[in-house]
Amino acid sequence: MSLLEARGLVRHFGGLRAIDGVDFDLASGEIHALIGPNGAGKSTLVGLLSGRVPAQEGTIRFDGRDITRLPAHARVRCGIAYAFQITSVYPRLTTFDNVALAVQRAGARDLAAATRAALARVGLEAEADWMAGALSYGHQRLLEIAMGLALEPRLLILDEPTQGLAAGEIEGFKALVRGLVPKVTVLLIEHNMEVVMDLAQRITVLNNGGVLAQGTPAEIRADRAVQAAYLGG
């Protein structure tokens, strides 16, 4: 069953066809990776899905509802959370307070308990009283994921989540993501191909603003067009 369906998405910037007629589907409860070379259109597509970039053409449906014209904050209320490629935490607030803001937005009855639970899911309980700006870059990424999870999303979009994480932290991240499904659907934009191939159930490859291929990790590995454009084969 599809949770998200996008059809004929178009977004041009001047003469640049960043996204040019893309169809895209997310199945409910899956881990789906979006990959492609730099400039392929990944960030633009994610912006279209999350509402941060308006579509010039096409439609987006989430759980059967047309959300094409909804702004980003309204899509959050529908159940779409997006963790940015560049950290967007509040550096002068504590780790706890960063997550508490997201919990408050989600309307949890017990703010403190829900905040602690979100921090525990990403392994940041011990850093709850730290100023967010004092966290390592990798821990700031985990904090951002905790903020996304605190919104209790149905779809969590993670943009380059392992960037800045140490090897041991990456293993913990993979365990975290696996523990989210099937309750949460995960869209992963990631350059670390080991992470992609290990986590994703399906992969979509973008190139030059269009879909080059889609399939299982094994199918993507074996695709000659993908090898030529991205995997270096």
Decide: helix, strand or coil at residue 59: strand
For residue 36, what are the contacts with CB-CB under 8 A and spacing of at least 6? 42, 205, 206, 207, 212, 229, 230
**pLDDT band for position 227 (cuts 50, 70, 90):** confident
| pTM of the entire predicted model | 0.90
Block residue for tokens 């066809």? 17
39, 64, 66, 40: which is closest to 55 by C-alpha?
Answer: 66
76 within domain boundaries: yes
Average pLDDT, the chain: 91
Quote the CA–CA distance of 196 and 217 in Å, as a whole number.
8
Q: 64-92: per-residue pLDDT in tens?
A: 999 999 999 999 999 999 876 455 789 99
Tally of domains in the chain: 1
18 within domain boundaries: no
- Pair 37, 53: CB distance under 8 Å: no
78 within domain boundaries: yes
8 within domain boundaries: no
65 within domain boundaries: no
Per-residue pLDDT at 30? 97
Decide: helix, strand or coil at residue 168: helix
Domain that holds residue 186: 29-53+72-231
180 within domain boundaries: yes
15 within domain boundaries: no
Block residue for tokens 């990424």? 141
Q: 90-109: per-residue pLDDT in tens?
A: 999 999 999 999 898 887 88
Overall average pLDDT of the 112-127 stretch: 94
Q: 131-162: per-residue pLDDT in tens?
A: 999 998 888 888 999 999 998 899 999 988 88
63 within domain boundaries: no
Report the CATH number that the domain containing residue 90 is assigned in CATH: 3.40.50.300
15 burial (CB, 10 Å; 0-12 / 13-18 / 19+) is exposed
